[in-house]
Amino acid sequence: MSLKPYYMIAGEAPKPQFMLKDPTGREYGVVEHYETDRMRTGGHALLEFINVDPAQKARPMIWVDLKDWSVLAGHGKNLPDADFEMGLHAYLQRFPESDRELRRERARQALRFELIRLAQQGYTVAYQEMFPGELTKEDFPNVRVAGANYIVDDQYLIQPGDFRNQVSLVFVEDGKGLKEPPVTALLCNWIFGEGYEILQTGFSESQSQRAVQALVENPELEKIYRERLTRMRREGVLLGIKPKAYSPRTPASPAPPASPESAPGEGKDGGAP
């Protein structure tokens, strides 16, 4: 399983999510681990108990069903005694509903861990990746170029502070009968209200222009993409995607005054800076 501690998912320093003392007086820092593999449900959390006593090297680990808010008895490891699982179950029942929902939200956030990481690095994120299962194949534009059909995926920049009103369109050949995974045949940015820029293409210039224009001249499609961009950015905020760190540039030292021997226009380069 692709489990990660919550502090890593949240981009925080290593630390337990809560402290616990059992009836025998043993104290633990509890680290919550969540599933990041999106092919799994993400409906469970693994609690790792870090004992303040360094003599206990094997850390107890217990699974919790987040939906039912119950300990999965019999699945724990390195338990210090036979009642440890049931004791934890009784303790968890004291959690208010807000704390229970917080853990369920963390599990949902963990399933998007890779998307969050990519978005924070300034990469585009596909709408279908952020909201899997919402779209069907028929919801994607289909464009025919040079005798082949291409499906157009839409991706967005959602890092807070990036307010470019655009969608990245990724053309990939329809995968029917293909032996190899589809590759990007054309990539472009559609800047709403301004135009578009082709970043990568395997087509001729005229084919690329016709393929893109068939989309950017469709006002209904523009409306859909604008709405998705708004929703993607809202979801990014809810997931806690951090804005790009501000790094001011060191101001350049002012250039020294030009001497008569190097006056503009008299050098070999025609006075280029």
Q: What is the enclosing helix (H) or strand (E) of 12?
A: none
pTM metric for this prediction: 0.66
The token pair that represents 228 in the structure block: 């998705």
Q: Is the pLDDT of residue 263 over 50?
A: no
Position 178 confidence tier, pLDDT thresholds 50, 70, 90? low
Residue 241's pLDDT is: 86
In whole angstroms, what is the distance from residue 70 CA to residue 189 CA?
48
- Dump pLDDT digits (tens) for 120-143: 888 999 999 999 889 999 999 999
- Dump pLDDT digits (tens) for 200-228: 999 999 999 999 999 999 999 999 999 99
The predicted model gives 142-164 an average pLDDT of 92
Q: Is the pLDDT of residue 260 over 50?
A: no
CB 174 within 8 A of CB 149: yes
Q: Is the pLDDT of residue 264 over 50?
A: no
- Dump pLDDT digits (tens) for 69-102: 999 999 999 998 999 999 999 999 999 999 999 9
| Phi, psi for 29 (deg, rounded to 5) | -100, 130
| Sign, Cα dihedral of 49, 50, 56, 58 | positive
Q: What is the residue-averaged pLDDT of the chain?
A: 86
In whole angstroms, what is the distance from residue 70 CA to residue 65 CA?
5
The predicted model gives 216-245 an average pLDDT of 91
CB 145 within 8 A of CB 207: yes
CB 30 within 8 A of CB 20: yes
The predicted model gives 138-165 an average pLDDT of 92
In whole angstroms, what is the distance from residue 4 CA to residue 37 CA?
10
Q: What residues contact residue 17 under an 8 Å CB cut-off, 6+ apart?
A: 6, 7, 30, 31, 32
